[in-house]
Structure 1
Amino acid sequence: MSEKILTHLDEQGRATMVDVSGKVISQRTATAQSIVSLPDEVLAQLENGDLKTKKGSVFQTAVIAGIMAAKKTGDLIPLCHPLGLDNCKIDIQLNDDNDVVINCTATITAKTGVEMEALVGASIAALTIYDMCKALSHDIVIKETKLIAKTGGKRDFKRS
């Protein structure tokens, strides 16, 4: 088994951007998920699968914010490559526990993957839900954000 190394460090241990100039262009996708737990006083405002506030539709605003953030990942994470995404989709659903489940899928045809874009998109969508609902309660919890799957590049990944 080959030794795993941190790719954002050079031989002297200094931070560096990964050189992708020698990589092959391929289609790459990544899906990330954030889960938000809303207290009962927020869930009571749920109407037709969305929360409506004075600021507007919570879930639709979160979708737009997540897509905008995914497109800006290279500006937010210092060593990420700036990427022009081919697509970014965000889906927001309630699960059986009444948690808000946000899935962000980013797609690109490029020399580098889009895991960070998917993670940033899901995270910012979750933060947007928090921001738009905090007037109702501060007992909102962003429980987790994780990579669900990625394709393309050296190896594919799928969380079991």
Structure 2
Amino acid sequence: MWRYFVGGIAALLMAGAGIFLFKGSATPEPVPPAPKPAQTEAAAQREASVAEVPRADRSREEKRFDRGDKDRNGTITLAEMQQPRRKAFAKLDKDSDGKLSFEEWTVRTSTRFAEADKDRSGGLTRAEFAATAPKRRAAAGPRCNCRAEVAKALAEAAEE
């Protein structure tokens, strides 16, 4: 039992000595940054043109912001923010009076419900409700099915 006690004290002493040594070591002074070379007019223009090129590694929020910033000035105005909603409002406002009645507002929902209720029971079953899920748009380009390609390559290699 006393061996465990002595071993624990020795471990604590070694940890304390390590902390003391690391804290006491001199830290090197930070290296100042290199001075910037003088730029010519052509180099400044090239640098400005590089800044205008869109980045490929933009985040989802940056892409969403860029879609909302229609005039590309770096800010989204209230009019830009409301524009998609104005189009949706115009679709719902069937009589174009600038006001939505309750009937105009519920037309789309009522139509979707009637289309989904195949048995005309006045209620949606689980299968009917699942049919009302919004359809996802297909991706812009073909997607790589890497797992299938790897499995195919492994199967071909196994045959050989």
TM-score by length of 2: 0.22
Higher helix share: 2
Which has the higher relative contact order, 1 or 2, with Cα contacts under 8 A spaced 6 or more apart?
A: 1
Larger radius of gyration: 2
- In terms of fraction of residues, the more strand-rich structure is 1
TM-score, length-normalised on structure 1? 0.22
